[in-house]
Structure 1
């Protein structure tokens, strides 16, 4: 029996797809797939499709003379970059024991239905609005207009219902798998069927509307430019309070205001003040993230934290609960939340809860550069995480990092976490 847990991070670009293999008495390992999706704006290469990753997964879970089998499939939340791979027809031939989803996906839960329907209507409405000719015209006079349009459309597309993928998760696969809809209220922990040494602790999402609505970290809890909330980090560029569209040199200012404000500047000002669509798209994206599963896999001495895209409300609730905080403090492997975004890994977790480098075996960030999201992953966050463990890798950075961390450029990264 192996003395380690293998974690494979597939290179899906801007998305998440992880395969856990845990040793057990049988010849085959206990296999758990956590998410399988990629954002269309951040595929790892031109011409790549999620079916490429699915084919590799199926090859990896197929034993000689047997059908492909997964003991558990987990979808942390319904964003495109976490579930789009489940659209592939190849899943029809995969036998699955259980499927775990957040409680907001429970078709029998009335509160969940209200949340899903509201999010779906808003996503479709935004997508239609962003396709209107007037939308492009509105931003045509703004220097960052094209980038803003691309970002808005990407946010809306990511939050669509992803019906084909969700249909697979709700009713697909072979083997008539058991479906579990998890929350911190109805399930604190699960002892896995078929792997009695594995306990999975559910740290989120909550059913409390205030918790899943509380998505933005307060000052000092986000890895933004102002690091600890006390001021700019040493050597950093000064913060710009306004977009470059409103930045004038002294000479330009004199020429513009000598004869009054030009109509062009007036139009740009009005356009930039009307940010309802941006605020709505961003809020929708955060709302879906607020329902994300946050799971801790406990197997022997290995504690593997998979927070999906959980944001401040879920993190704060976990760190405020003594039992959950104790689990977080035992983390030996951390799947970096939300692709390294500033709003998914609180400063408190990294600096006060996460163990020091001798105990953190590795961290993994599944990401791919996207032009209109230049701050993902946050460099400040990755710098702080690297202080805790030198075994920190990104799915888009082939190479080797630390003992036991092999990076295969066409697939991703293999971690072998001691247990």
Structure 2
């Protein structure tokens, strides 16, 4: 069982108030209109802002091969996620006494991808067998690189939590930090489990199944013994730290689509931030731009400040005047914590496991990049695969050219699908794109809401797919073009079929 954290009286860090389960049934196990035969079915659940994909591969004379890629959501309670997992269980049973997921994939340590493994833990434990668990190399703590990444995240989280529990917690520059931190550190209200507990649980289930794999980019493509008609390629996450830490899009990148910006706070900056919000001690001095001998301190409870009293009228009429508040910079330095939270979030996204699944007979590709951001995508230009019965290596970019199904990265955010080296390479006439997105939840995040779907990218997807872009939001219905391509929607999920 995953490591349990003891309840604490410390204020919990949460994203948003959790919403109740979506109204209505998730739909039948088999959607009306499902074709008699197909090579693969991709089921996208309509459970909120998060990824939960069940892939079904029919096998003649046998139960289908079932593969679950992530199971999580933001702002969804245990009831909602349990309903989703129960539907997955019933689908995977396929007339058998117990459900079996032949492969379970945990792409990266974010709540909107893994919360269901905490919230519906009882259903997973009691009713569902795991055949194998796949994760990225970044979760393999027997390797030094993975341990270094984990330690860096741990230090960054500690600094952010320190800021949120300090006297500066209510400061405007810290607004939104708790939401971003919640992606990796949120309490799921189920026995105090954190997102890290979901990762530990998946590792445990993989070990119990005697098939826990940490996948490497560019490793030899493999075919599962129980699924001989499909080949799996691992494109990311990259090993090169330059790619792992590249997420920002600069003006130059917008201009030529190939240049990216790397900006990160070093160890010294982290240490200074932590010391600056530490209660008492020398750290307090780091909050002030001038040395003590050049400052006139404000009075505090139980103490008087002789010199401050002399300038009180002036301060009241100028510095503390409400109409002049916009000019004050007392807390502007705290915005560095917001950048740190963004860096932590983006870096975790860039550790996403990226899979391309090839139907060997048709050579068609199903692409699942999780939340991979620009650095992860950029790294694929150097990834090549040694494929059996092929004399030359297969470039990762060739796989993009054969992609017929694209799970749009990071809920269609602006920096999670490249143009050059990405979408422009997807040239198949029958391309379909699925976006796991709940617009209402996205609109409530941060100060002004998240720009999802990002309009320029969404329009590019519409053009590339000839309007075959499908959003999981229950208030969005598939286009006529998507329906003509065989997409089927129910209240609880949307199906795509590879013929």
TM-score bin (small chain): 0.7 to 0.9
Q: Paired residue for 2:437, among 349, 367, 385? A: 367
Distance 1:268 1:194 in 2: 65
The question of whether the paired residues in 2 share the 8 Å contact of 1:221 and 1:347 is answered with no
What displacement does 1:164 show? Answer: 2.3
2:471 is the alignment partner of 1:394 = yes
Q: 2:204 maps to what in 1?
A: 171
Counterpart mapping for 1:193-212 below 5 A: 193-212=225-244
| Residues 88-133 of structure 1 deviation map (CA, whole Å, 9 limit, x = unaligned) | 2221131111110010111322221221132134224423422445
Distance 1:70 1:281 in 2: 35
| Residues 373-411 of structure 1 deviation map (CA, whole Å, 9 limit, x = unaligned) | 3312202111110111122111104433322212222x1
The question of whether the paired residues in 2 share the 8 Å contact of 1:367 and 1:395 is answered with yes
The count of corresponding residues between Structure 1 and Structure 2 is 369
Q: Paired residue for 2:347, among 280, 287, 290? A: 287
Counterpart mapping for 1:250-269 below 5 A: 264-265=324-325, 268-269=328-329
Counterpart mapping for 1:165-314 below 5 A: 165-172=198-205, 176-184=209-217, 187-219=219-251, 221=253, 264-265=324-325, 268-272=328-332, 274-299=334-359, 300-301=361-362, 302-314=364-376
Q: 2:409 maps to what in 1?
A: 337
- What secondary structure sits across from 2:160 in the alignment? helix
2:445 is the alignment partner of 1:385 = no
2:31 is the alignment partner of 1:6 = no
Q: 2:184 maps to what in 1?
A: 159
- What secondary structure sits across from 2:59 in the alignment? coil
Distance 2:73 2:349 in 1: 15
What displacement does 1:63 show? Answer: 2.2
2:489 is the alignment partner of 1:407 = yes
Distance 1:317 1:191 in 2: 24
Gapped runs of 5+ residues in structure 1? 140-144, 230-258
2:128 is the alignment partner of 1:94 = yes
Distance 1:177 1:203 in 2: 24
The question of whether the paired residues in 1 share the 8 Å contact of 2:411 and 2:453 is answered with yes
Distance 2:207 2:99 in 1: 10
What displacement does 1:349 show? Answer: 4.2
Distance 2:202 2:184 in 1: 17
2:81 is the alignment partner of 1:50 = yes
| Residues 334-373 of structure 1 deviation map (CA, whole Å, 9 limit, x = unaligned) | 00001111111012145531115x231x100001122233
Q: 1:348 maps to what in 2?
A: 420
Change (3 A) 1:303 1:274: same
Change (3 A) 1:84 1:124: farther
What displacement does 1:48 show? Answer: 5.2
Distance 2:248 2:129 in 1: 39
| Residues 6-50 of structure 1 deviation map (CA, whole Å, 9 limit, x = unaligned) | 11001221110001111223432111100011123xx3xx88532
Q: 2:137 maps to what in 1?
A: 103
- What secondary structure sits across from 1:181 in the alignment? strand
TM-score (norm 2): 0.68
The question of whether the paired residues in 2 share the 8 Å contact of 1:221 and 1:348 is answered with no
TM-score (norm 1): 0.81
Distance 1:327 1:354 in 2: 9
Cα RMSD (Å) of the superposition?
Answer: 2.7
Q: Paired residue for 1:318, among 363, 370, 380? A: 380
Distance 1:65 1:406 in 2: 25
The question of whether the paired residues in 2 share the 8 Å contact of 1:294 and 1:308 is answered with yes
Q: Paired residue for 1:75, among 106, 117, 124? A: 106
| Residues 293-342 of structure 1 deviation map (CA, whole Å, 9 limit, x = unaligned) | 11101013331100011111121121354610111111100000011111
Change (3 A) 1:17 1:104: same
- What secondary structure sits across from 1:9 in the alignment? strand
- What secondary structure sits across from 1:180 in the alignment? strand
- What secondary structure sits across from 2:243 in the alignment? helix
What displacement does 1:274 show? Answer: 3.7
2:62 is the alignment partner of 1:30 = no
- What secondary structure sits across from 1:38 in the alignment? coil
What displacement does 1:208 show? Answer: 1.8
Q: 2:497 maps to what in 1?
A: 416
Distance 1:122 1:228 in 2: 30
Distance 2:344 2:451 in 1: 19
What displacement does 1:188 show? Answer: 3.5
Distance 2:496 2:165 in 1: 43
Distance 2:52 2:423 in 1: 27
Q: 1:112 maps to what in 2?
A: 146
